[in-house]
Structure 1
Amino acid sequence: MIRKHNTIINDVLGDYSLTLVDCLDTFVVFNDRKGFEKAVRDVIKYVSFDQDNKVQVFEVNIRALGALVCKRLLPAFQKSKTGIPYARVNLKYGVPINETHETCTAAAGTLIIEFGVLSRLTNDTRFEDAAKKALFGLWNRRTDLNLLGNVINVQTGQWIHTASSTGAGIDSFYEYLLKAYVLFGETEYLDMFNEAYNSVLRYVKDETGYLYRNVNMMNGGLMSNWVDSLSAYFPGLQVLAGDLDNAIKSHLLYYNIWKKYNAMPERFNFHLRNVELATYPLRPEFIESTYFLYRATRDPFYLQVGEMVLKDLEYYARVNCGFASIKDVLTKSLDERMESFLLSETFKYLYLLFDTENKINSMDDNFIFTTEAHLIFLPQKYLKKHSEIRPSMSGAERSFCSIYEKPSPSKHLFTTSVITSRSDADFARELVGFEERTLPLLDPKGICEVPKSDPQVIEVSFGGLQESHEDDLIYQGQEQQQQIIKYVDGLIANRLKGLKLELTKRVDKKGYDVTKGM
């Protein structure tokens, strides 16, 4: 079915055989030499980027970058006063006259790897220079909390949407800071990642250690009650950063969401413990994190997670001509669409999870998987000369405390898992409201650990009316008072003004003490 006016589909696909291009290195991972050779011949024969189509700069970069197409993306940077690129360009004519000035942090900050490698391979610095200017254009506009927002104006540099998170709209920004350091070996990217990650741990992660929320970039206040499926990549990034303890905890949250619905809904409301957006286009992020955690721990639990995912995809998404996106995880109804990332990422990570002897799993080099799971290697001759002195450790690095211990040898080693025997393993299950008892019960004596968290700061208003906006949860008048909503073990304060109070949770968890008034 051809839907010419469906922008959501067309500005990703671009009419240049996207799935073919996106899945080239999947043949390599599967060791399918004949399939790879045929695919390359088909690219040479059929693929052309000389198209009168408007496409997303971010999507074309991560799925189909090359010297030819990259030159067609450069106008997105050149037309911007800040150097932060427009979100879309026309492959033939450049930036459309009426194109929006809005772009998200992930779209503008997820270019440095592909553009940087292309510049070094072609000896054309334009690509890396443009991507680096965009990256620093975002970073230099961070708040005093070292947080970035979700949407920015490329011409004025003003933040339009101030939610900071690890999910949609900002996710791969963090990913490319760390992976740029791994690939290029330049410590400025590591410094930026350490600052950004430390702020994520302080302001975005909640006190349970399982949830990474949407917070206001200005003050760290909670802005919504949901997590999205894209943020399920973050445990994998935490593995790459060496933070196994936090990676294991955050992965358990998404594991229990999947167990509850046999899929990963686009949004899950952790306050209501229910689905907020029910679609699942067979995204790879949860599988990606499962793969990295298995490579780091070798715990058989993660193989069992992969088996669970594979069986659910076969049962609920398999159709005669492939796999269909799930339109509703509650009803399991399907959509008439299969995204290219299913073959490029989801199945690639599943394959590598189980193919433990795959050559890729034994490589020890500065290679990385891009955010589209493309393998990129960069030989030493392409690296820039830079100081070998390692930067001083930041607060984020000092906070790393891996608790993982491998199972003791046993003839039943495959079924032995440290993850499922953790005394806090079922806490994530309670967070998502999953009733099935597949994990051991909590130790009745609890965990001998006093949680450490920053004070909760709220503002309380006295009288006066406020103007409300369509999407804001603001209650007015005497009949509908402003609310402080309790969630898990925290508080939500919605748009309250007047007296600012600092509330610190009591050790016995029975209420809060006012520790400061401002």
Structure 2
Amino acid sequence: MESTSLRKRNAQPAPGTGGSHKGVDVCIRSYFARETWLNSRGHATHWQDHQADSRRHGSMSGSSYLVLLFLSAVAVIIYRNPTVVTEPLAEFIGTEVRHAEPRYANITADIPKRDAVVAAFKHAWLAYEPERDAMGDDEYHPLSHKGSNLTEAGGIGYTVVDSIDTMLLMGLHDEYTRAREWVATKMTFERDAQFNTFETTIRVLGGLLSAYTLTEDPLFLEKARELGDRIMPAFETPTGLPLSHINLAQRKGYKTPDNNGLVSTAEVSTLQLEFRYLSYLTDNDAYWDAVEKVMQVIKSSTMSTGLASIFMNPEDGRFVMSAIRLGSRGDSYYEYLLKQYIQTNQTEPVYQHMYDFAIRGVQEHLVKKSQTARLTYTSELIPERDRSGKVTWRLVPKQDHLVCFFGGSLMLGAVTTGAAVHPVTTPPQVKQLTPSGLRDWKTGYDLIETCMRTHETATGLSPEIVHFRIPSDGLAGSSMPNDWYIKGARPGAPPPYDARYILRPETVESLFIAYRLTGDERYRKYGWQIFQAIERHCKIESGGYASILNVDQVPVEYEDKMETFLMSETLKYLYLLFEDDSVLPLSKYVFNTEAHPFPIINPTRHANF
């Protein structure tokens, strides 16, 4: 997932149960056999009681006798062949029942596809690195073959540091050696300019920490410590909510004029994994204290629904009346509630409770179904005041591509906070999940399917934003597709902003998580389709990859920009999707919102709020 400034048609029939439609490949035959046996005993007992009652009253109607006999026969059939119940149920929750005993998926590498992703990474990196003036620049422009920085004072190596752990995972030793040399000799944070606090944390601090995780090279930890110290003044506000920008040379936080001094909820609540891990490595509690204070403030201001509006006031620590959504400025708040619980080895119940409360709110208020194909999607709530000043909330059927992280996140939460036992199998069994876990698993599964539907475009790539049809949208009888559409898109007209694809990772992030949790080959199939679409439409033959302006137009029109998250996230998650599950297992690592892996830790301290 990405920040707010840089950042997750009609449905096809669901595959039949004879395919690879596993989802949770569950052992529920014995479970439902027991339930139907109890039911059959109930029917039999009821029958016996009814017979005794009939004898007392002298007779029993023939029709009642036939009904009870029929029900008893059905119960016996279900007991002897429970698949008549379990298979439809499994289809309903996104599963396929195949085994009577628990099993663990055998996830091995698909070497040809994995290596194709490595080749794509090299095509991207080797376009950026050799350019005389690009190496070390924050961003790269593949059409003009130039680099650029985020400030006039110079860059801090966003592209380099964001990519290092991907090189390490892919075994690109020569590329890694040169990148490390740049960090050692040319990287500097002495830049008298304002950098986005959130972006600098998730990309650069996160990249340095993950490089240290994979190498234990003290160079990366020392750089991470220096950067962390330079960012810390951003937390110096009356509430401890960090300001949105930080001058790294001055070591001073700044408000942004864009949002009237407010801070983004997602941005202040998506620094915790990085600073907590830095604290763990350096034994400096100041980092931990700063980000934990943020969570304490958020918890004390939580709305009664469990949801969070997208802006907060750093002066009083309160949520400001603003949109509620899982897209930009809201997305990673929900992501990090779960991941903080995972990072601390499930020893911090406060984050489990905050996550469960928030997801219950999402399920009750934001999750909806499209009107024709019944696709699961998430809406936004927009506050409005009527003439009397009363606030009402308008539901808007709009979903950012950013939201596509949420399917995999929900499935991960289902086997973590929603698990009845630990650990669960791969894939989990129905009886291993609580009712809320089953609810979240199904919603996550369905959201991934919806996100794949949004890839049903001329290019096979998903647009930045989609809207879903609702009865009140005034589009009845129009040529708009029945379920989702790109708002403002018209034949022959310039494409709207919503129609672009900027190399985003959110769908493939969910595919990676879902595959690791299930072993279901459908997720690798989906990932390969997306990778091929990127290769076909975004690849620049002279080097690098570019964003495209309209996913429904072929041939495509390019935007001269290669986002850093292509190499940090999109290609990394695709690589891991086709790698075996011994590489960065989800039981041992947690990924920050920029796909940088950190180890799960056993903290010696715990939240006191």
Q: Do they superpose with TM above 0.5? A: yes
Q: Paired residue for 2:468, among 248, 270, 279?
A: 270
Q: Paired residue for 2:551, among 322, 329, 333?
A: 329
C-alpha distance in 1, partners of 2:262/2:466?
26
Please state how far the C-alpha of 1:312 moved relative to its aligned partner: 0.6
C-alpha distance in 1, partners of 2:255/2:335?
32
> Alpha-carbon deviations, 1:90-126, whole Å to 9, x = none?
1112124775512211101001110101111111111
AA matched with 1:72? R
Contact 1:11 1:56 in 2 (8 A): no
Partner of 2:403: 231
Please state how far the C-alpha of 1:213 moved relative to its aligned partner: 0.9
Consecutive unaligned residues of structure 1, counting only runs of 5 or more, are: 388-518
Q: Paired residue for 2:604, among 373, 384, 395?
A: 384
Is residue 45 from structure 1 mapped to residue 203 from structure 2 by the alignment?
Answer: no
Please state how far the C-alpha of 1:174 moved relative to its aligned partner: 1.0
> Structure 1 vs Structure 2: percent identity of aligned residues?
28
Please state how far the C-alpha of 1:220 moved relative to its aligned partner: 8.9
AA matched with 1:359? S
C-alpha distance in 1, partners of 2:262/2:354?
24
AA matched with 1:16? I
Q: Greater CA deviation, 364-373 or 228-237?
A: 364-373
Distance 1:150 1:49, change over 3 A: same
- Structure having greater relative contact order (Cα 8 Å, sep ≥ 6): 2
Q: Paired residue for 2:576, among 319, 329, 352?
A: 352
Partner of 2:445: 248
Q: Secondary structure at the match of 2:315?
A: coil
CA RMSD across the alignment: 2.7
Please state how far the C-alpha of 1:141 moved relative to its aligned partner: 1.6
Distance 1:367 1:375, change over 3 A: same
> Alpha-carbon deviations, 1:368-395, whole Å to 9, x = none?
1111100101454xx22569xxxxxxxx
Q: Paired residue for 1:36, among 176, 195, 202?
A: 176
Distance 1:151 1:298, change over 3 A: same
C-alpha distance in 2, partners of 1:118/1:180?
14
C-alpha distance in 2, partners of 1:97/1:159?
17
Is residue 202 from structure 1 mapped to residue 364 from structure 2 by the alignment?
Answer: yes
AA matched with 1:77? F
Q: Greater CA deviation, 33-42 or 147-156?
A: 33-42
Please state how far the C-alpha of 1:71 moved relative to its aligned partner: 1.4
Distance 1:125 1:386, change over 3 A: closer
C-alpha distance in 2, partners of 1:110/1:10?
21
Q: Paired residue for 1:67, among 225, 243, 249?
A: 225
Contact 1:204 1:220 in 2 (8 A): no
Contact 1:234 1:247 in 2 (8 A): yes
Please state how far the C-alpha of 1:14 moved relative to its aligned partner: 6.2
Distance 1:198 1:358, change over 3 A: closer
C-alpha distance in 1, partners of 2:235/2:400?
29
Please state how far the C-alpha of 1:260 moved relative to its aligned partner: 2.4
Q: Secondary structure at the match of 2:188?
A: coil
Distance 1:217 1:191, change over 3 A: farther
Partner of 1:282: 503
Query: Aligned ranges for residues 51-130 of structure 1 at < 5 Å?
Result: 51-65=191-205, 66-78=224-236, 80-93=237-250, 94-96=252-254, 100-130=260-290
Please state how far the C-alpha of 1:12 moved relative to its aligned partner: 12
Q: Secondary structure at the match of 1:328?
A: coil
Q: Paired residue for 2:333, among 163, 173, 177?
A: 173
Consecutive unaligned residues of structure 2, counting only runs of 5 or more, are: 1-132, 139-147, 206-223, 385-390, 415-439, 470-479, 488-497
AA matched with 2:485? N
AA matched with 2:461? A
Runs of 4+ in 1 over 3 A off after TM superposition: 1-4, 11-14, 96-100, 156-161, 216-223, 363-366
Please state how far the C-alpha of 1:198 moved relative to its aligned partner: 1.1
Please state how far the C-alpha of 1:161 moved relative to its aligned partner: 4.7
Q: Paired residue for 1:314, among 521, 532, 535?
A: 535
Partner of 1:396: none
Partner of 2:492: none
The structure whose Rg is larger is 2
Is residue 187 from structure 1 mapped to residue 357 from structure 2 by the alignment?
Answer: no
C-alpha distance in 1, partners of 2:375/2:295?
29
Q: Secondary structure at the match of 2:302?
A: coil
Q: Secondary structure at the match of 2:377?
A: coil
Distance 1:129 1:12, change over 3 A: farther
Q: Paired residue for 2:456, among 234, 256, 259?
A: 259
> Alpha-carbon deviations, 1:35-68, whole Å to 9, x = none?
3233222211111111112111000010011211
Partner of 2:305: 145
Contact 2:375 2:450 in 1 (8 A): no
C-alpha distance in 2, partners of 1:350/1:200?
28
AA matched with 1:256? R
Contact 1:141 1:148 in 2 (8 A): no
AA matched with 2:452? Y
Q: Secondary structure at the match of 1:40?
A: helix
C-alpha distance in 2, partners of 1:133/1:246?
32
C-alpha distance in 1, partners of 2:341/2:524?
29
Q: Greater CA deviation, 275-284 or 323-332?
A: 323-332
C-alpha distance in 1, partners of 2:149/2:292?
29
Partner of 1:213: 379
C-alpha distance in 1, partners of 2:332/2:601?
24
Q: Secondary structure at the match of 2:396?
A: coil
AA matched with 1:83? G
Please state how far the C-alpha of 1:240 moved relative to its aligned partner: 0.8
AA matched with 1:178? L
Distance 1:114 1:14, change over 3 A: farther
Distance 1:316 1:337, change over 3 A: same
Q: Secondary structure at the match of 1:76?
A: helix
Please state how far the C-alpha of 1:222 moved relative to its aligned partner: 3.6
C-alpha distance in 1, partners of 2:255/2:308?
28
C-alpha distance in 2, partners of 1:48/1:263?
37
Distance 1:293 1:358, change over 3 A: closer
Aligned residues: 379
